[in-house]
Amino acid sequence: MSPKISLANLSFTYPDGVAALKNITLDIPANEIFVIFGPSRSGKSTLLRVLNRLSDLVEGAQHQGAVTFNNQNIFERDVNVTDLRRRISMVFAIPTPLPGSIRDNLTYGLRMAGIRDVQTLEERVMRSLKQAALWDEVKDRLDASAFALSGGQKQRLCLARSLALEPDVILLDNPTSGLDPLSTAMVEDSLYELKRRYTIIMVPHSTQQAARVADNAAFLLDGELVEVGKKSQLFMRPKNKRTEDYITGRFG
Amino acid sequence: MSRQKTNQLMIALITTIAIIVVIPVILVILFMFYNGLSALNWEFLTTAPYNGLRQGGIMPALLGTVYLTFATAIVSFPLAIAAAIYLAEYARDNRLTRAVRLAIVNLAGIPSIVYGLFGLGAFVLFMGFGTSIIAGALTLGILTLPVVISTAEEAILAVPQEFRTVSLSLGATRWQTIRYQVLPQALPGIITGIILGLGRAAGETAPILFTVAAVYLPELPKSIFDQSMALPYHLYVIATQVPGMPLSVQYGTALVLLLLVLSLTLVATIIRTNIRRHRQW
Amino acid sequence: MEQTAPFIGSRPAAEQRHWGEWIIEKLIQVAGLSTIVIIGLIFFFLLREGLPAFFEVPLRTLLGGRWYPIENLFGLWPLLVGSLLVTAGAILIAVPLGLITAIYMGEIAPRWQREILKPLIEMLAGIPSIVLGFLGWVVLAPLIQQAGASTGLTAFTGSIILAYMSLPTIISSSEDALSAVPTEYRDGALAIGATQWQTIWRVVVPAARSGIVIAIMLGIGRAIGETMAVLMVTGNAANVPALGLGMFFQPVRTMTATIAAEMGEVANGSVHYHTLFAIGILLFVITFAINSLAGRLVGTQGKRRRSSQL
């Protein structure tokens, strides 16, 4: 099967000259959890942001190379960036509900895409909440403020908000950073369920989490792709010395 | 004298001077109330002056200022808010943007009488509006631009960046993000700016001297192309140009103007305090 | 696997929105740039109506000391001196008072006092100049006359009123300057045993020096352009007073007051009319220079947006 997303010689440089990604070539297969891990400031978050061109928001940043998604280079001029972001949807490290009700949050992306049909919206609200394992907790208060939810609930709301768009790919930037173990487990559990429908690319909270949830994983260090491989291989028998050192906790 | 003594003395001195600076503000306002309140009554507000302005009320001047302020609002605010959105959301840090900011700083610094000259040259004569509400509203509209732009820009910048990022990440366009996330959250702050601008417009005299103001008009203006009386100019006229003007009427007129302008400032302050208190983020 | 459509926006609705947004964004940009156009237009119309004066009135007359429009004498010197005199007086009063008030508010006053002082200063900024002019006219001028001046309508009367009107500007800019001084400076000074006064006087004020200069400049800009209050209380005599402290206690006539008082009575297109616009040019240039310089010192680059957590 052809990869869902392919990176070819991708480099990304911030306006201050910091090269966050250096010449990365990588294939991400469909319908699995692909984990990108490495020490902090190794370029993981930047990589996620490039994939749906949220990196465009960084004024003066430069990129080289190509990212191919569904056989199309996302940097081409005629690419509709808003459509791209609906297809490749991002969940951030800090759960950030938008001001408004739970329902408002879930329907926001759809409404912005021009979908007004109440029945469609309601259907998506329910389905996405169920997929994110939040339905039972909030079904009676969909019109309550999203700010009133707990931290773990907020993060699952943000996940549901992305799912409501029915994207192809979900980008998760350390989605369990602020969560307690129970909430973390709930989010992780929903991921196993979700990968049947979606391609999930995730920056994990820890190497342990990476080893837990990944199907395939890529190890990033100082903006370079050090090693990529199946979970069983990468975390048990890393080929590269630096990968081994990182996994065994010798640095990072 | 010991260092501690000097310290105590100087701190006391600074405190005293600060109090001396601020007390007159309260005194001025109390003084205006004390002298003006006796002239204030329903008749004063609702009748036209007569007998060479010496008797009667201030109705045409008061209404004229209200008209003029509203007309100013219509001229100024769409432009000012669009400019604020431009500066806060679209402008890159380049020479053009710096030129825009310099222009706004300077617009804020141009003397109000120079605005009056500009209004006379541009709107009254060149555009041929004559001395009219529209000429005055255009002049005052431009005069209020900088204060509204600055306040609105601050309100827009105060909306946390996170909401923009999230909105864009959900496939909203830049304008949708501004329209549905930024502006609703910045609205109270923008309204504060608008009200401050209105207060400024209502109290100005110099810009309307040659563009709108009439010493005395028996009738209210019928259209925006008519002249109008205005409260600040009326105060100037009755204080300096009308011999034998009863002092109580002068104080009364000044008090009405003061109340009008200060109540606008007060409303703006209240909205601003409320925003801080009710902010969810 | 279900084949997904390419994501190039091809739906008509998306296209329409695209065009609608393109227009809105262009309008917003035009609005932003219009501020430059407006200031250009202001200068243009001042030049259009005012430049002829420089051809119609001999330069020697313009630079001369006699402003008698009836005799076709348009000497700007007394008006300039009048404006400078009133402004200088106002600044001499307002800068120390404003700076000290700012120091009090920023360095000494407890929070609750600041919460009272700030709205009061804003309120002062909100009082229309005509109202303060009126008070100067009916209250202050008679007081000054009682104090022994030959008339109450003097440059000094104008300076007091103007000082009060420039105080909010000076206080708020000085406050900005003082609050920009890093807390470490204060802590460092206090830590080596300096008293609070020594810290303020030797450390905080010198560190805020450039900001205080800006405050003074903005105060000057505010004072020199003020019209109505000055028109009412300075007596409007176009004399060049003899040098000395006494010059503050004579009636003077400022540039702004001259325009306000005479424009209503001149014929459009007359020499007098052109000369009043020429005074407008002078005022525009002076305030433009002051504000541009102050703006440059403040740093005209945009306020930094709060950094995002995401």
In one letter, which amino acid is B118? F
pLDDT of residue C294: 87
* Partner-chain contact A87 C4, CB within 8 Å: yes
**Which residues span the domain enclosing A181?**
30-45+80-247
Identify whether A117 is part of a domain: yes
- Output the pTM of the full model: 0.89
Reduced 3-state DSSP string for B60-107 = HHHHHHHHHHHHHHHHHHHHHHHHHHHHHHHCCCCHHHHHHHHHHHHH
Interface touch B203/C126, C-beta < 8 Å: yes
Residue C10: the pLDDT is 40
By C-alpha distance, the chain B residue nearest C302 is B93
- Are B281 and A99 in contact (CB < 8 Å)? yes
Q: For chain B, say whether C146 makes contact (Cβ under 8 Å).
A: no
Mean pLDDT, rounded, for A186-215:
91
Is C9 near chain A, with CB under 8 Å? yes
Shortest alpha-carbon distance between residue A107 and chain B (Å): 10
Out of A80, A92, A94, name the one closest to residue C9 (CB).
A80
Nearest residue, CB atoms, C228 vs list B162, B165, B205: B205
Measured between beta carbons, which residues in chain B are less than 8 angstroms from residue C104?
Answer: 14-15, 17-18
> What percent of chain A clears pLDDT 90, i.e. is strictly above it?
66
Which other chains touch chain A, taking contact as 3+ CB pairs less than 8 Å apart? Answer: B, C
Question: Which residues in chain B come in under a pLDDT of 50?
Answer: none
Across all residues in chain A, what is the average pLDDT?
91
Domains identified in chain B and CATH numbers: 59-276 (1.10.3720.10)
| All residues at 6 or more sequence positions from B8 whose CB lies less than 8 Å from its CB, including other chains | none
Q: How many CB pairs under 8 A join A and C?
A: 36
Shortest distance between the Cα of C13 and any Cα of chain A, in A, equals 8
What average pLDDT does the segment A71-100 reach?
91
Question: Which spans in chain B are helix H?
Answer: 3-36, 42-46, 59-85, 95-109, 112-119, 133-157, 161-169, 174-177, 183-203, 231-240, 247-278
Asked if residue A71 belongs to a domain, the reply is no
Q: Does A16 touch chain B (CB under 8 A)?
A: no
| Partner chains of B (3+ C-beta pairs under 8 Å) | A, C
Would the CB atoms of B29 and C134 count as touching at under 8 Å?
no
Q: Is A225 helix (H, G, I), strand (E, B) or coil?
A: strand
Give the DSSP letter string of B117-137.
HHHIIIIIIIS---SSHHHHH
At residue A252, the pLDDT reads 61
Evaluate whether B238 touches B251 at the Cβ level (below 8 Å). Answer: no
Sign of CA dihedral B152, B155, B161, B166: negative
Burial A151-175 (b: 16+ CB within 10 A, else e): ebbbbbbbbbbbbbbbbbbbbbbbb
C118 touches chain B (CB under 8 A): no
Is some CB atom of chain B closer than 8 A to the CB atom of C47?
Answer: no
B180 in reach of chain A (CB within 8 A)? yes
Q: Decide if A79 and C7 are in contact by the 8 Å CB cutoff.
A: yes
Q: What are phi and psi of C272, to 5 degrees?
A: -60, -45
pLDDT per residue over B123-132, tens digit each?
A: 999 999 999 9
Classify residue A180: in a domain, yes or no: yes
Which subunits count as partners of chain C given 3+ CB pairs below 8 Å?
A, B
pLDDT digits (tens, 9 = 90+) for C277-301: 999 999 999 999 999 998 888 764 3
* A positions 189-228 inside 8 Å of C (CB): none
CB contact under 8 A, B111 and C138: no
The verdict on a CB contact (< 8 Å) between B262 and C123 is yes
Contacts of A87 (CB under 8 A, 6+ apart): A52, A69, A70, A167, A168, A169, C4, C7
CB contacts, 8 Å: C38 with chain B = 103, 107, 142, 145
Say which amino acid occupies A94.
Answer: I
- CB pairs below 8 Å between B and C: how many? 284
* Per-residue model confidence (pLDDT) at position B121: 95
Residue ranges of B 153-172 with Cβ closer than 8 A to chain A: 162-163, 165-172
Rounded Cα distance between A136 and B115, Å, is 64
Using CB atoms and an 8 Å cut-off, which of residues 158-187 of chain A contact chain C? Answer: 168
- Does the CB of A144 have a partner CB in chain B at under 8 Å? no
Q: Is A45 on the interface with B (CB under 8 A)?
A: no
CA nearest neighbour of C281 among B121, B233, B204, B98 = B121
- Per the structure, the count of domains in chain A is 1
| C-alpha distance from residue C166 to each of B110, C87, C131, C173 (Å) | 14, 10, 15, 11
Question: Could you tell me if residue A205 is inside a domain?
Answer: yes
Helix axes of B112-119 and B133-157: crossing angle, nearest 10 degrees: 130
Q: Inform me whether the C-beta atom of residue A87 falls under 8 Å from chain C C-beta atoms.
A: yes
How would residue A145 be classed by pLDDT, with cut points 50, 70 and 90?
very high
Nearest by CB to C308, from B117, B118, B161: name it: B161
| Predicted complex ipTM | 0.92
Scanning every residue of chain B, which has its alpha carbon at the shortest distance from the alpha carbon of A145?
B280
User: How confident is the model over A159-169, as a mean pLDDT?
Assistant: 94
How many angstroms separate the CA atoms of A201 and C277, rounded? 68
Q: Quick count: other Cβ atoms within 10 Å of Cβ C111?
A: 6
Residue A197 counted as domain residue: yes
Contacts of C309 in chain A (CB under 8 A): 94, 96
Does residue C7 belong to the interface with chain A, where contact is any CB pair within 8 Å? yes
DSSP A101: B
Task: Give per-residue pLDDT as tens, B70-82.
Answer: 999 999 999 999 9
CA torsion sign for B133, B134, B138, B139 is negative
Nearest residue to B200 (alpha-carbon basis) of B152, B124, B142: B142
Shortest alpha-carbon distance between residue A215 and chain C (Å): 19
Q: Strand pairing partners for B107?
A: none
Cβ pair B168:A162 closer than 8 A: no
In chain A, DSSP assigns E strands to 5-13, 19-28, 33-37, 62-69, 72-73, 88-91, 169-173, 199-203, 216-221, 224-230
Domain holding A164: CATH number? 3.40.50.300
Flag whether A87 is in a domain.
yes
A84 chain-C contacts, CB cut-off 8 A: 7
Mean pLDDT of successive 10-residue segments in chain C (310 residues)?
41 62 94 96 97 92 87 90 94 94 92 88 90 94 86 91 93 90 91 91 90 90 93 86 78 94 91 96 96 78 50
Q: What is the mean pLDDT of residues A161-169?
A: 94
B165: closest chain C residue by CA: C310
Mutation choice for A interface testing from B161, B166, B175 by most A CBs within 10 A:
B166
C-alpha B217: how far from its chain's center?
25
What the block records as the tokens of B54 is: 């010496």
